[in-house]
Amino acid sequence: MYENAGVEQLEGARRRMLLGFLDGYVAWQVPQFITRVWGDVLPDWGRGVLAAAMLVGLAGFLFYGWQIVRIQQRAKQDAALGEALNDERVREARYRALVFGFWSVIVYLAGVCLADLVQPLGHTGAWSQLGLVVAASSAIMAFLWFDRETAS
């Protein structure tokens, strides 16, 4: 699929795959969070809908994750292509995205700590899981934003 693709095609594919990966990850994790926190008050059909959403999200996460791996393998096979896909602009976008993701998690954790002071939240595992979703999704969204911003 990516054997004859050029740099522009692979950069576009990488953006689409990261967006699909992010969508799948969020669609997989958020229903788990909802089930862990409010599962005892959800009707059976609501738990069924959330279970279906988790399965669809997991399938998308795995599919797009595999596609990202394939793009990376293609870049490793061709050194010039690999350098073009990981140039200074991409490295800068990746760095900025990691910083954004870090601060997103700090703000999230501060909010959770403050909320817990006002009203004990319980379900600490669920809130930790949501923190991972915040970390990963904010970093990926920021990368997509910064990469697009610097590409033009």
Q: For 116-141, what is each residue's pLDDT tens digit?
A: 999 998 888 899 999 999 999 999 99
Of 62, 86, 110, the last residue of a domain is: 86
Same domain, 18 and 81: yes
For residues 31 and 104, membership in a common domain is answered with: no
Q: Residue 13's pLDDT band (boundaries 50, 70, 90)? A: confident
Per-residue model confidence as pLDDT tens digits over 34-47: 999 998 899 999 99
Residues 6+ positions from 97 with CB-CB distance below 8 Å: 139, 140, 142, 143, 146
Q: What is the mean pLDDT of the chain?
A: 91
Identify whether residues 38 and 97 lie together within a single domain: no
Looking at the structure, do residues 25 and 77 belong to the same domain, yes or no? yes
Q: Do residues 69 and 136 both lie within one domain?
A: no
The answer to whether residues 37 and 3 belong to one domain is yes
Mean pLDDT of 66-87: 88
**Residue-level pLDDT at 63:** 97
How many domains, in total, are found in the chain? Answer: 2
User: In this prediction, what percent of the chain has a pLDDT beyond 70?
Assistant: 96
Asked whether residue 77 falls in the same domain as residue 130, the answer is no
What pLDDT, on the 0 to 100 scale, is given for residue 7? 77
Q: Are residues 102 and 146 in the same domain?
A: yes
Domain containing residue 58 = 1-86
**Band of residue 85 on the pLDDT scale cut at 50, 70, 90:** confident
Same domain, 43 and 110: no
